[in-house]
Copies of this chain bind each other. A is one copy, B any other.
Amino acid sequence: MSNAYNRPDQLSPELRRRVLETARRLGYPGPDPVARSLRTRKAGAVGLLLTENLSYAFRDPAAVGVLEGLALACEDAGVGLHLVPASPGREDVAAVHRAGVDGFVVYSVPDDDPHLAAVLERPVPTVIIDQPSIEGIDRVGPDDAAAVGKLAEHLVSLGHRQVGVICMRLARERNDDFVSPARQSGAHFHVQRTRLEALAAAFSGAGVDWAGVPVVERFDHTVDDGASAARQLLDAYPQITAVICTSDILALGAMAEAERRGLRVPQDLTVTGFDGIAEAERIGLTTVHQPVLEKGKTAGRLLLSSGERSAPKTITLPTELRLGRTSAPPRTVEEPWFGG
Interface residues, chain A, with chain B CB atoms under 8 Å away: 29-38, 43-45, 47, 54-55, 58-59, 64-65, 67-68, 71-72, 74-75, 77-87, 92, 94-95, 97-101, 121-123, 223, 252, 278-279, 282
Q: Please give, as numbers and ranges, the residues of chain B lying within 8 Å of A223 by CB-CB distance.
A: 278, 282
A85 touching B78, Cβ below 8 Å: yes
Q: Please give, as numbers and ranges, the residues of chain B lying within 8 Å of A67 by CB-CB distance.
A: 58
Partner of A82, one of B34, B36, B81, B94: B81
Q: Please give, as numbers and ranges, the residues of chain B lying within 8 Å of A33 by CB-CB distance.
A: 97-101
Closest to A44 in B: B98
Closest to A54 in B: B71
List 9 contacting pairs A-B, 8 Å CB cutoff, sorted by A: A29-B123, A44-B99, A45-B100, A54-B68, A54-B72, A54-B75, A58-B68, A71-B83, A81-B83
Closest to A90 in B: B78
Q: Please give, as numbers and ranges, the residues of chain B lying within 8 Å of A85 by CB-CB distance.
A: 71, 74-75, 77-81
What is the minimal beta-carbon distance from A76 to any residue of chain B, in angstroms?
8
Q: Please give, as numbers and ranges, the residues of chain B lying within 8 Å of A123 by CB-CB distance.
A: 29
Q: Please give, as numbers and ranges, the residues of chain B lying within 8 Å of A34 by CB-CB distance.
A: 34, 37-38, 43, 100
Distance, CA A252 to CA B282, complexed state (A): 10
Distance, CA A92 to CA B86, complexed state (A): 30
Distance, CA A238 to CA B64, complexed state (A): 38
Q: Please give, as numbers and ranges, the residues of chain B lying within 8 Å of A82 by CB-CB distance.
A: 45, 80-83
B83 touching A80, Cβ below 8 Å: yes
What is the minimal beta-carbon distance from A258 to any residue of chain B, in angstroms?
14
Distance, CA A81 to CA B54, complexed state (A): 12
B78 touching A95, Cβ below 8 Å: yes
Distance, CA A54 to CA B72, complexed state (A): 7
Distance, CA A219 to CA B12, complexed state (A): 42
Q: Please give, as numbers and ranges, the residues of chain B lying within 8 Å of A81 by CB-CB distance.
A: 82-83, 85
Partner of A29, one of B54, B64, B122: B122
A31, A34, A35, A44 interface centre (most CB from chain B within 10 Å): A34
Q: Please give, as numbers and ranges, the residues of chain B lying within 8 Å of A100 by CB-CB distance.
A: 33-34, 37, 43-45, 100
Closest to A24 in B: B121
Distance, CA A59 to CA B33, complexed state (A): 31
Q: Please give, as numbers and ranges, the residues of chain B lying within 8 Å of A87 by CB-CB distance.
A: 75, 78
Q: Please give, as numbers and ranges, the residues of chain B lying within 8 Å of A38 by CB-CB distance.
A: 32, 34-35, 38
Distance, CA A101 to CA B43, complexed state (A): 11
Q: Please give, as numbers and ranges, the residues of chain B lying within 8 Å of A77 by CB-CB distance.
A: 85
Q: Please give, as numbers and ranges, the residues of chain B lying within 8 Å of A47 by CB-CB distance.
A: 80
A98 touching B36, Cβ below 8 Å: yes
Closest to A35 in B: B38
Known: A38-B38, A64-B58, A282-B223. A30 touches B84 (CB 8 A): no
B98 touching A29, Cβ below 8 Å: no
What is the minimal beta-carbon distance from A125 to any residue of chain B, in angstroms?
13
A55 touching B72, Cβ below 8 Å: yes
14 more CB-based (< 8 A) A-B contacts, given A44-B99, A58-B68: A30-B122, A33-B98, A33-B100, A34-B38, A35-B38, A44-B98, A58-B64, A58-B71, A64-B64, A75-B85, A75-B87, A78-B87, A80-B82, A83-B83
